[in-house]
Amino acid sequence: MTPAEGGEPRLSEMLGTLRAPHVPSVPSFEVIGRTVEKVLDRFGTPSHRPEKDPERLIAEMRDRIAGWNWQKVPMSFVARVGRLVFSAPWRDRDDCIRIQSFLLDEIAISTRSGFLNPLVQTYVSSFDALSEVSRKLGQALERARDRLGAQWRSLLAAVPEFFDVARVPQALARLMAQMEDIWMGLRRLGLRSPHAPGLMDAAHLAYLEQVGPRLSEKPEIERLLAWLRPPGQMARATGASEAIAALLRPWVHEAPPKAIQSLLIDRLTEMYGHPKVNRNAVWNLVNSELEQIVLRWLMGADIRFLFRVLDEVERGHMWRDREDFWWLLYETGRIDEVWIAFNDEGYRAAIQKLPPEARQSARRFGHQCGERDKSLLIMRIGSKIVVEGTFNFKVHIFNADNRLAPKLYQPKYDVAEIRSLGGALSKPHLGDWQSWVRRNL
């Protein structure tokens, strides 16, 4: 019977109408990679939150060891206790040393990644090259190397000395010095929090030691700056003063090229604030001689910046004689401090000239919000406060000890208020006004 007569189709007819099977498209390995990264960031990064009740955890662990009671004890509990007893300030206490001994004995025989992997993370976060406790934990983990989880394989292959407390900071630093992107390079090796405390603090200092002689070279400077603040991350705080010192030390006796000076000014003030304005505590740890280098660079950059912006927003007016005069005083070391305040149009133009990431985080100049055509250059020159202004604003000279004198580094100024202050000498920009300024400084 044929198909038309209601029978089943012949096999030859079925084979003749076969279509090629649908082959699904190859999955995007980029998407898979991003998903893996998210999982690792969520579950593979140790928590740095302090324990709410560390004494309770230590006491409970001590009691469980004494009574050998391990019923309904989650591995997360053991990991939390391990983070405590191997870390300062608990690691040198007698009761914690007994718990350490128990955990070190368990490392020697355990095959459970849920126990071993958190202790590797504890070794990293609690690392102290001078601590006998860190040394013992490193030695125990070295003997358990073959039983550690896959997440550590790349790192241990790249850094065979990883569990040797005396050698690992320098070994990691050598790797960092070879990485184009240090932050991402360390993460790919398995160190998910490259700015975390402990081992990475020691590796950071060792890295600065290794690259210090090359920090007059722009690519090396850029790599260190990128390490201090990777995209989307907060600036590194621990070891930041040592990094700033390393970046500035090559320029104690010579001026850097303009491109390097601008790079250092922009990035350091973006990350750690202006030393005189929104000062980060990091600057308190920087040698005062090195800090003065940054302040001097900032003074020169601000004077040039003021007149560069004025050239753009106040076309038709000549500022050359004023710029040349104040620049000469700066070059001869007469000016001690500088602050600028732009009018509305200048302020908007100046904001646009800052690096995008610095527009919100760093305050590099003030705002003159009175008369719309006036911008100000405010200086401390010895025992005087000098206020220079655009257009018909006279040069004003105040004694620095005059309580009415304008203060530097303020966010807002009004030229009308400055004119009304008492105790100032003033001079319009007519004739040999420069000699008058010199005589009254």
Cis status, amide bond into 3, omega within 30 of 0: no
Least confident of 34-38, 123-127, 352-356: 34-38
Tokens matching residue 337: 């401090």
Task: Write the pLDDT tens digit of every residue in 400-422.
Answer: 999 999 999 999 999 999 999 98
pLDDT at residue 305 tops 80: yes
Q: Give the SS3 label for residue 388.
A: strand
Task: Write the pLDDT tens digit of every residue in 379-397.
Answer: 999 999 999 998 889 999 9
For residue 311, what pLDDT is reported? 82
**359 vs 104: which has the higher pLDDT:** 104
SS3 readout for 294-357: HHHHHHHHHHHHHHHHHHHHCCCCCCHHHHHHHHHHHHCCCCCEEEEEECHHHHHHHHHHCCCC
Least confident of 124-138, 212-226, 299-313: 299-313
DSSP summary character for residue 148: S
Q: How far is Cα 260 from Cα 218, in angstroms, rounded to an integer?
A: 7
Bridging pattern class, strands 366-368 and 337-342: parallel
Average pLDDT over residues 160-183: 97
* Displacement of CA 327 from its chain's centroid (Å): 33
For residue 27, what pLDDT is reported? 63
Q: Please tell me the pTM assigned to this model.
A: 0.83
Residue 45: band (very low, low, confident or very high) from pLDDT cuts 50, 70, 90: low
Q: How far is Cα 117 from Cα 298, in angstroms, rounded to an integer?
A: 48
For residue 47, what pLDDT is reported? 53
For residue 392, what pLDDT is reported? 84
CB neighbourhood size of 329 (10 A): 18
**410 vs 279: which has the higher pLDDT:** 410
Task: Write the pLDDT tens digit of every residue in 244-271.
Answer: 999 999 999 999 999 999 999 989 998 9
For residue 316, what pLDDT is reported? 56
CA nearest to 335, candidates 320, 325, 347: 325
Q: Are 138 and 146 in contact (CB under 8 A)?
A: no
DSSP summary character for residue 425: E
For residue 1, what pLDDT is reported? 47
pLDDT at residue 20 tops 70: no
Q: How far is Cα 108 from Cα 144, in angstroms, rounded to an integer?
A: 6
Task: Write the pLDDT tens digit of every residue in 225-246.
Answer: 999 999 989 999 999 999 999 9
